[in-house]
Structure 1
């Protein structure tokens, strides 16, 4: 079984990239093998690797790679979340697939088309620059056909008022790349960007509890990593300050899917990101500046007006994402995979390995 390690700059940890051609496809065997892999990683001092990308040459004629993401959860070696995706891990998977000969070597200008089995996303990874140690990409998340922006709202509302510790907190629940809850950091008592980016355990705890409250208010399972949560503040010159929670701590920057979701959400009039982003959200062709504790990214969301007057999203892009390839992992042992419990599949409730294998997706989505 071939296992590579690769890490995108700004990701909270490396990704274990697994060759799906030699990996079990049934859910129980898949998770059992991942549990064994986690034990191996911990034994080799890499217990912090909580992202798993399972890839193979695509069975679909329009794509180069089929990709499936599994998030390892910190509770135990056999605890996983099958919902959602990970943009940084998609880039890591493309890097590893090229380095190990699964796809053609990467050269500037080439594009690798990735079929995300978790949620049906179409992602194009465009190579900007290559070196011996890694690759710099632009990631394009495509909507084919273009999506009416209101369809990204998970509750059908631009703002959902969530009961939270005796008051009502407005959040925007948006699904693009991954499902996110966006909240104005001022509603959590944050006074400015310095306070937002401080390592404040009280803010982390408040955001974690608000995420749980969001799930409970919608009748969703609170276990696992999705939906994610991010707190926002406006930049004076336009754009957003962003602080996001990852697994199991603060995200050092913002997830690539988080930046993609934020870029899409900023185009939805009345949403929390739209209200805070200022002029950067009003111009459909403008880049959205996003500042995080670990640096800045610029998000480009391309949308057009349909004949019905509703804006439709065609794609969202993030450029200059660097990925480091760390090589093949030595597997000292190979044991029979064992069945383990897993988190959710098509709906936000717990699912176990008693279910048959199928592609997973994050729902709810509104028509």
Structure 2
């Protein structure tokens, strides 16, 4: 079984990239194999690697890769969350697939089309620049067909008022790339970007508790990684300062799917990102500058105007994402898991029951 490591700059940890052609497909066997893999990585001093990407040449004629993401949870080696995806890991998977010969070598201008099995996302990874050690990409998340912007609201409302420690906090619950809870950081006692980006355990705890309160208010399971949570402050000129929580600590920047979701949310009138970024005073598809503790990104969202007068999201893109390839790992004990189920207890896992069909539709990049 081929096991590679790659890391997108700004991600909280590298991604383990596994060849899905030689990895179990049934969920119980897959999770037992991943538990064995985590145990092996821990022995090698890589127990902090919590992202797993399982890829294979796509079975769909309009895609290059089928991709499945599994988030390892810090509770134990056999705790996982199968809900959601990871944009940084998509880029890591494309890099590893090209380096190991699963797909064509990457050259500037080429595009790798990824079918995300977790949630049906269509992602185009466009190569900007290559080198011996890695690749710089632009990631395009496509909507096929274009989505009415309100459809991205998880509660059907731009703002949901969440009971939290004796008061209510307005939160926008948006799902694009991954589900996110966006909150104005001032509601958590943050007065400016310095305080937002400080390593403040009180803010981290408050955001973690608020995420739990969001789940409880909606009747969602509080265990796992999703929805993620991010606190925002306005930048002068229409951008946003962003601080996000990852697993199990602060995100060093913001997840790629977080930037994608934020870009989409900023286009929906009345949401927390829309209000803080002052989108009412801007063109609908204006670039969104996003500043994080680890640097800046610019998010581009393209929408179209439907016959009913409502805007529909066609795609969201984030450019200049660098990925470093770290190579194949030595043969691991868990490689034998591909031959059959491993012994042991059933892993602890959160999973969706409606994994995307292989018949996921496709929209050309020029749409």
In the alignment, the residues of structure 1 paired with residue 189 and residue 132 of structure 2 have an alpha-carbon distance, to the nearest angstrom, of: 46
**What does residue 255 of structure 2 align with?**
255
Asked if the contact 1:253/1:295 (under 8 Å) is kept, the reply is yes
1:241 aligns with 2:247: no
**What does residue 350 of structure 1 align with?**
none
The C-alpha deviation readout for 1:15-36, integer Å capped at 9, x for no partner, is 0000000000011100000001
How far residue 283 of structure 1 moved from its aligned partner, in angstroms, is: 1.5
How far residue 305 of structure 1 moved from its aligned partner, in angstroms, is: 1.2
1:55 aligns with 2:55: yes
1:346 aligns with 2:352: yes
How far residue 42 of structure 1 moved from its aligned partner, in angstroms, is: 0.7
**What does residue 359 of structure 1 align with?**
355
**What does residue 319 of structure 1 align with?**
319
Asked if the contact 2:32/2:347 (under 8 Å) is kept, the reply is no
How far residue 282 of structure 1 moved from its aligned partner, in angstroms, is: 3.2
In the alignment, the residues of structure 2 paired with residue 279 and residue 29 of structure 1 have an alpha-carbon distance, to the nearest angstrom, of: 47
The C-alpha deviation readout for 1:205-227, integer Å capped at 9, x for no partner, is 00000000000000000000000
1:97 aligns with 2:97: yes
Asked if the contact 1:15/1:52 (under 8 Å) is kept, the reply is yes
Say which SS state the counterpart of residue 343 (structure 1) adopts. Answer: strand
**What does residue 74 of structure 2 align with?**
74
Structure 1 alignment gaps of length 5 or more: 348-357, 362-367
In the alignment, the residues of structure 2 paired with residue 300 and residue 56 of structure 1 have an alpha-carbon distance, to the nearest angstrom, of: 29
How far residue 332 of structure 1 moved from its aligned partner, in angstroms, is: 3.7
In the alignment, the residues of structure 2 paired with residue 332 and residue 105 of structure 1 have an alpha-carbon distance, to the nearest angstrom, of: 26
In the alignment, the residues of structure 2 paired with residue 265 and residue 359 of structure 1 have an alpha-carbon distance, to the nearest angstrom, of: 24
In the alignment, the residues of structure 1 paired with residue 347 and residue 2 of structure 2 have an alpha-carbon distance, to the nearest angstrom, of: 24
In the alignment, the residues of structure 2 paired with residue 160 and residue 11 of structure 1 have an alpha-carbon distance, to the nearest angstrom, of: 29
In the alignment, the residues of structure 2 paired with residue 264 and residue 173 of structure 1 have an alpha-carbon distance, to the nearest angstrom, of: 12
**What does residue 330 of structure 1 align with?**
330
Say which SS state the counterpart of residue 326 (structure 1) adopts. Answer: strand
**What does residue 364 of structure 1 align with?**
none
Asked if the contact 1:239/1:280 (under 8 Å) is kept, the reply is no
In the alignment, the residues of structure 2 paired with residue 229 and residue 360 of structure 1 have an alpha-carbon distance, to the nearest angstrom, of: 24
Asked if the contact 2:35/2:347 (under 8 Å) is kept, the reply is no
The C-alpha deviation readout for 1:166-187, integer Å capped at 9, x for no partner, is 0000000000000000000000
In the alignment, the residues of structure 1 paired with residue 234 and residue 355 of structure 2 have an alpha-carbon distance, to the nearest angstrom, of: 38
**What does residue 106 of structure 2 align with?**
106
What RMSD in Å do the two structures reach over aligned CA positions?
1.3
In the alignment, the residues of structure 2 paired with residue 333 and residue 56 of structure 1 have an alpha-carbon distance, to the nearest angstrom, of: 21
The C-alpha deviation readout for 1:36-80, integer Å capped at 9, x for no partner, is 100111111111100000000000001000000000000000000
**What does residue 30 of structure 1 align with?**
30
**What does residue 287 of structure 1 align with?**
287
Say which SS state the counterpart of residue 163 (structure 1) adopts. Answer: strand
1:128 aligns with 2:124: no
Asked if the contact 1:266/1:281 (under 8 Å) is kept, the reply is no
Q: CA distance change for structure 1 residues 277 and 162 in 2, over 3 Å: closer, same or farther?
A: same
Say which SS state the counterpart of residue 76 (structure 1) adopts. Answer: coil
1:304 aligns with 2:304: yes
In the alignment, the residues of structure 2 paired with residue 248 and residue 258 of structure 1 have an alpha-carbon distance, to the nearest angstrom, of: 16
1:6 aligns with 2:6: yes
**What does residue 365 of structure 2 align with?**
none
The C-alpha deviation readout for 1:217-275, integer Å capped at 9, x for no partner, is 00000000000000000001211000000000000000000000000000000000000
In the alignment, the residues of structure 1 paired with residue 79 and residue 351 of structure 2 have an alpha-carbon distance, to the nearest angstrom, of: 14
Asked if the contact 1:267/1:281 (under 8 Å) is kept, the reply is no
**What does residue 45 of structure 1 align with?**
45
Q: CA distance change for structure 1 residues 360 and 228 in 2, over 3 Å: closer, same or farther?
A: farther
Instruction: State the aligned residue count.
Output: 351
In the alignment, the residues of structure 2 paired with residue 342 and residue 264 of structure 1 have an alpha-carbon distance, to the nearest angstrom, of: 32
The C-alpha deviation readout for 1:73-94, integer Å capped at 9, x for no partner, is 0000000000000000000000
In the alignment, the residues of structure 1 paired with residue 18 and residue 94 of structure 2 have an alpha-carbon distance, to the nearest angstrom, of: 11
